Amino acid sequence: MKLRTALCGLMLLALWTVRVHAQEFHIGLEAGLDSASFANSDASNFQGSRVGFAGGGFLTLGFGGLGIQPEVLYIRKGAQSLNGTSDVALDYIEIPVLAKFSLGLPEINPAILIGPYFSSNMGTQSENAIATNVNNSDVGGIVGLEFHIAEFYLSGRWEFGVTHVTTDTNISNRDMTVLLGYSFI
């Protein structure tokens, strides 16, 4: 218990230290929709996309035009078969760590987002048992644009998985996500 308290104290001290040096510090929530699909050679039967929810929280540490934005998101990925008879839904807790390159404009501040994500599979729903041997994790990259308007954020992102969804196929996640965020600090 003392170790846990000491670690929490150290994390708060580290955040405070970074905040003192950062020119910009924001904590907020974001939510939106994603359109997910499968890609690679074994994904030919899954050309349909599925729309799902994405949401969570973010922390932005800005140093001039460059920032770091770690996030914790719930995101639903998956795909639909060509004929629409089969649907695979994958629920992930995703942790993107994004570099944020912004112009620093006062009213509407555009930024480019780029970085890796690390996901943990929290559940899989599959019609006709077509998704077997699902990997417990997914790793990939994110490229996107974000517009910061006062306390609000609007971002559009493209995610590409580099790990396989299952252990016995060459299928990876692809995802287009649109998120609306609000910074309360």
Q: 108-160 pLDDT, tens per residue?
A: 889 999 999 999 999 888 766 566 788 899 999 999 999 999 899 999 999 99
Has residue 15 been placed in a domain? no
With respect to residue 12, please indicate whether it lies within any of the assigned structural domains: no
43 within a domain of the structure (yes/no): yes
* Contacts of 56 by beta carbon, 8 Å cutoff, 6+ apart: 29, 30, 31, 71, 72, 73, 74, 94
Domain contains 14: no
What's the chain's average pLDDT?
A: 86
Question: Is 133 inside a domain boundary?
Answer: yes
Does any domain span residue 64?
yes
Number of Cβ within 10 Å of residue 184's Cβ equals: 8
Confidence of residue 104 (pLDDT cuts 50, 70, 90): confident
pLDDT of residue 53: 96
- Residue 20's pLDDT band, with cuts at 50, 70 and 90, is very low
* Least trusted range by pLDDT, from 42-56, 103-117, 153-167: 42-56
**Separation of alpha carbons 55 and 89, rounded Å:** 16
| Domain CATH code at residue 134 | 2.40.160.20
- Helix%, strand%, coil% for the chain, nearest 5: 15, 65, 20
What is the residue range of 175's domain?
24-183
Q: Which amino acid is at 166?
A: T
Enumerate helices (H) and strands (E) in the chain, giving the number of each: 1, 8
What is the predicted pLDDT for the residue at 126? 75
Give a yes or no: residue 8 inside a domain.
no
pLDDT value at position 33?
97
Number of domains in the chain: 1
Is residue 65 a part of any domain in this protein? yes
Q: Is the pLDDT of residue 51 over 70?
A: yes
Lowest-pLDDT choice from 18-22, 42-46, 87-91, 110-114: 18-22
pTM over 0.95: no
